[in-house]
Structure formats: C-alpha cells, structure tokens
Amino acid sequence: MAKLKCKIVSIYAPRNEEKALLRRLQEMSVIDIETAASDDETAALPEGYYRTDTADRIAAYERNAATADAALKILSVRAPHKKGLAGMFGGARYLTPERFYLKREQIESALSLSNRIIEADRAIAEEKAEIVRLNTTREQMLPWMPLDVPLSFSGTAKTRAFIGTVAGVYTLESLNEKIAGIDPTLSLYTEIVGVGKNITYIFACCPIGEQSKAENALRSLAFARPMQITSKLPRDKIASKEERAAKCKERIDGYLKEIKEISEKTEEIEGLADYCRRHAERYKAMGETAGTAHTVMVKGYVAERDMPYLEKQLSKQFTVVIEAEDANEELAPVQLKNNAFARPAESLVKMYSLPGPHDIDPTPITGFFYYLFFGMMFSDAGYGLIMILATTFALKKLRPSPEMRQSMRLFRYCGISTLLWGLVYGSFFGDSISVISESFFGHKVALPALIDPMNGDAVTMLILSLALGLVEIIVGLCAKFATCMKNGDKAGAFFDAGLWITLLTGVAVAAVGFYAVPILKTVGAVIAIASVVGLILTQGRDKKNPVARLFSGIASLYDITGYVSDLLSFSRLMALGLTTSAMSAVFNMLAGMGGRTVGGFIMLLIIFPVGHAINFGLNVLGAYVHTLRLQYVELFSKFYEGGGREFKAFSANTKYTQLDLNSKEEN
C-alpha cells in the first residue's frame, strides 16, 4: 500500500570477517549496497578508508560462469533434458547447504565438464565443416566417375590428352561435328564422360604434333580443366572422400555420445554457473565497500522494517557496529509494500516506472482497475475458469520463479474477474450452452444474463464502460489530491484536483438525473457550475495581473476536452467485450452446424476447441494490452510522474538453485 521507508546503513566489521559478512548479507537479501559511483569518494568515506580493487576476481568468476552457461546452452541443443511444465516456469531447485555450497573439487570437476562439452561441440563443428568440404569435392568428382584415367593424365609420349568440360550439351556425334566444323584437318579422338546442366564432360586425345590445333579448337568450345586435378582415378578419389566423411561422422557420433554422457551431470554445471555468479556479485560488493588494513565498511540502503532482522542476524554472527540514519527520499531506492491482492500488479507499475520521491504508490489503484477492466474485456466465464485453474495448478505444482509466481497470481485475479463478468454477460464459451443444447438435444437452454451484449444490450454495455471509466478518472484525480497533500501543496490539492473532481462528479450526477431522479439534474448542474466558477477563479492564481489571471482560468476549461477524450477511450471495454462474444458465437455456430449426426459430432469435437483456443489467444492478448493502456494513459496521466530507482537487494540471484537453509558456510 506504500513505499517502504529506507535507512542508509553503515556496517563496520573486522577485515578478516569481510567475506563471511558479505556472504551472510547476500543470503539475507535486505541491503542495496551503495556503489562507489554514488559517493564522492574523498568526502563520503571515513578518513583512512579506501576502496578494494577486485576486478581480476570478478572477471575470473564471470568468465567461469560464461563457460558454464555456454556448456549448458550446448547441452540444451545436443542432449536436451525434458524439464516438463515446471521447467517452463523457471523454478529453481531447492538444495540443502551440503549440495548448494560447492567444494573445490566439485568446482574443478564441473568446470572440467563444461570445458569438455565446449571442446566436443567445437570439434563437432569442425568435423561437420570437413564433411561439407569432402562432400563438395565428391560432388565435383562425381561427373568424372566413369573415366578410367586420372584427371591429371596428360597423354603418352606420342599423344596429348585433354580432360575437361565444354559449354553446352553435346552427344558424341554433335561434338565431333562441331570440332570438324572448327578445324576439318584436326585428328581428335573424343569421348563423352558425362553431361550436366549446360555443360558436357569430355575426354579428348590427339597426336602430339596437333596439340596446338586441338587446343585452339577446344578453346572455341569454352574448354575448361576440372577444378580438382588428382593423380587418382575419379572413382578412387570419390571412395576416399566418402571414407573420410564416414570417419568424420563416426567421430561426431563419439563426441555426441560424450556430451550425452556428461549431460547426466547437468545439475553440477548448473551449480557451477550459480556458484560463479553469486561469487562475482560478492566480489563486486567487495569492490563497492571501503576499508582499512584491519576493518571493512559496507554501506547501503535497508528498509526500515528490515533493520531489526539485520541487526539481530549480524550481531549474532559477527563483531559489527551498525550505524543507521534516515535516507534522503530524493536519492533512496524504491521498495514497494502491498497486500496479497495488489502485490501482483507491482510488475505493471515497474513496467511503466517506479514511484518518484513525490509520488504515492499507485499499485493498489492499478491492481483493482486492471483486474476489473481485464475481466470486462475478456468477459467469458469459461475462459476465466481456464485461467483460474491453469494459474492455480502452476502455483501449486510447478514451483515457478518469484517473478513468474507474481505473474501467475496477476492472471489468476484477472481470471476471477473474467469469470464474474462472463456470468454478468451470460457467456460461457460464448453461447455454447444454447447452441449445443439446441443443435444436439433439440431443446435450447440459455445461461441467464444481466447484460446480453449480443442481443440488444450493447448500449447498456457502452454506458457501463463509460461510467466505470469516469470512476477511474475521478479516482486518479483523488490520487492527485492525495499526492499534493503529501507534498504540502494544499492549494494544488483543492484547486487543481478537487475542483475537477467536483466538476466531473457534478456532470455524472446530472447525467443520472436524465435517466432517473430528475432532481439530480439540478443538483449536478449546480455542482458543475460552481466547480467551473472555482476553476476560472483559481487556475490563474500564479498570475499577478487580474486580467491575465481571469483569462488563464477561462483557458484552463479547455482541459475538459482531454477528459472527454480519456472518457471515450473506455469505450474499448465494450468493443473488446463484444469482440470476444462475437467470435465465440461464430465458432459455436460453425461447431453446431452438423447437428445430431456423426459428422456433426466430429465437427463439434474439432471446431469447438480449436475455435475457442484461437479466440482465447487473440482476446487475452488484446485484453492485456488495452487494459494496460488504460492504466498508463488514462490513469497515470492524472497524478503519476514515476522515475524512482528500484531497490536492488544484494542477493545470490541464482538461476538454477536456491538455498533451503542458511546454517552452513560456503568454501
């Protein structure tokens, strides 16, 4: 419900306890350690303190982590393990300290395994490249396979041989006729070895004395020597290449077998990756601390609520002195605290920007309206039920990562809202109940609806959408009122937010009077007119000239066009709700067209699930995006600035493993 108040904490400890202290702080995950760049080093550090240079250690651990990551990436391709649904949600394995904290020999073993995988993968790539080269050479030699002499054969003592290609496709007869036409006096023996695409492979031989004439004639035919000149017979050369390619494949199989065997120890490599990452983070923290030859100082931000826990844990294990003072709100990082209902919406706020120093936490407002509007857009009880069951199963059985867990909770609340709005609209997989009951059982049964958007209630749906939009706009202005009061700007609260609240409320009351309780028209009009007068008199209050003040006040009324535009944006609540219902109705109609026949049941079994899967996918995405837009544009623009820096706790940040207990030390 608010931003947590932070303390700026300085922890002093003996130098010989530095590593253990940082390890414990990393496990506790409650401090955002201040970096050297955030301080004026000459002024912020106590006299005699200095920064520690740990760049080499950090680089070494990051290099080893990168090696482990590279090996794991190779394993995921060469020898993938089926992780099941749990793996899709990023859940880490929870390990006892004996397994979580690695010994030196375990680290060396895992690093050796990683390097073997990388070397084997590199060797596979080289062998595959060699196979490509061998196959290319083989392909070039294949047309010469019928030839009974080597391609390097140039003739005998009394003859000259020509082995190569000529442009064009010839038969032996047409080739000889072509040569005779070029030089009738030439005595040239020819053979057709093979024919390719627009090319003919030939063997030719002539008396040694006619070599020049033969060369001139062949040159006229665009004669070219083979790309591969070898002293072996072509068939022998091809067999040699095939044999070498087969050996390359055997070696590849051996490397793949080695990788598959190592894949049984994937968890060791994952442990190495996490080990190196948390140690790199720890040494980065050491570089951000200060110290003397005998003491170390860790400085950072801690939430006020976590101070007793921090002091108790550190005092119990270490010889420490802890100093704390209130943090400067302008500089302090932002850590949000919300109840279970609003907490999943923190991710939506973070996607936009965390609250700035003068903002209130918008998460509760954002969460409520996001759940409400998502359900109104998706608006189908069947789809909502699927969301509830799927997210509940994921939360209970798959142990997702913390970030994924919050996303699952967000969509579970959206699913509950979707289910409720679906019941309001009488939609359970659209009008599936009425279509199936009428088409296959001859008796129409319909789900009762308070609002039926597909049968004449679209206007009611539009009015409801605009009314809820007006409520959100007014709530946003109320949040602006609270923000101004928090920052001591009472004039801004009452004149810039309060008068707009009363103006919009007056318009809403008058609108209700046109449909019911006519007296409300007069009441609403009085409230609205009084608010307009108040705006004219107060919106130019920063001007000294009375005339300029009056004109500024009148000009401020132009802002009403912005509120009207914002209000019309909420018509998308109706539009997307109608889209979901209309698409459902179309797919239900198609699924029920076959009636009570075998073909009809087959159509139902195919079209119904496929159609609703398509509808679900398209409209859940639309509801997610458009509901988000309504929060960011129509709500946040009324009171929220953002720009806060996220509280980044010094923690292990492991990807594959989590520590169950913190009772044993790490080597």
In DSSP terms, 189 is beta-bridged to 205
- Give the C-alpha separation, 295 to 11, whole Å: 10
88 pLDDT band, cuts 50/70/90, is: low
Reference 234, options 269, 203, 272, 274; nearest CA is 203
- Give the C-alpha separation, 416 to 402, whole Å: 21
pLDDT digits (tens, 9 = 90+) for 318-335: 999 999 999 988 889 999
- Give the C-alpha separation, 266 to 113, whole Å: 9
pLDDT digits (tens, 9 = 90+) for 140-155: 899 999 999 999 999 9
Count of positions (residues) in the chain: 667
37 pLDDT band, cuts 50/70/90, is: very low
Residue 322 makes CB contacts below 8 A (sequence gap 6+) with 9, 10, 11, 12, 310, 311, 314, 315
CATH no. for 152-225: 3.30.70.2750
- Give the C-alpha separation, 515 to 433, whole Å: 34
- Give the C-alpha separation, 268 to 252, whole Å: 24
**Does residue 271 surpass a pLDDT of 70?**
yes
pLDDT at 35: 63
Q: What is the mean pLDDT of residues 111-124?
A: 95
pLDDT digits (tens, 9 = 90+) for 474-484: 999 999 999 99
Tokens of 145: 């396979």
Q: Where are the domains of the chain?
A: 2-94+269-336, 152-225, 343-639
Residue at 420: amino acid letter? L
Q: What is the pTM of this model?
A: 0.79
- Give the C-alpha separation, 541 to 551, whole Å: 11
- Give the C-alpha separation, 605 to 39, whole Å: 67
Q: What is the dihedral of CA 82, 85, 89, 93, to 10 degrees?
A: -60
52 pLDDT band, cuts 50/70/90, is: low
Tokens of 166: 């000529």
Range ranked top by mean pLDDT from 177-191, 441-455, 542-556 = 177-191
Sort strands 93-95 and 657-659 into parallel, antiparallel or unpaired.
parallel
90 pLDDT band, cuts 50/70/90, is: low
How large a percentage of the chain has pLDDT more than 90?
58
Decide: helix, strand or coil at residue 556.
Answer: helix
Q: What is the mean pLDDT of residues 359-363?
A: 93
pLDDT at 97: 65
**Does residue 102 surpass a pLDDT of 80?**
no
HSE-CB at 469 with a 13 A cutoff on CA atoms is: 23
User: Rg for the chain (alpha carbons), in Å?
Assistant: 39
**Does residue 43 surpass a pLDDT of 70?**
no
Q: What is the mean pLDDT of the chain?
A: 88
DSSP state of 290: E
pLDDT at 85: 55
**Does residue 36 surpass a pLDDT of 70?**
no
Sort strands 295-303 and 31-33 into parallel, antiparallel or unpaired.
antiparallel
pLDDT at 465: 93
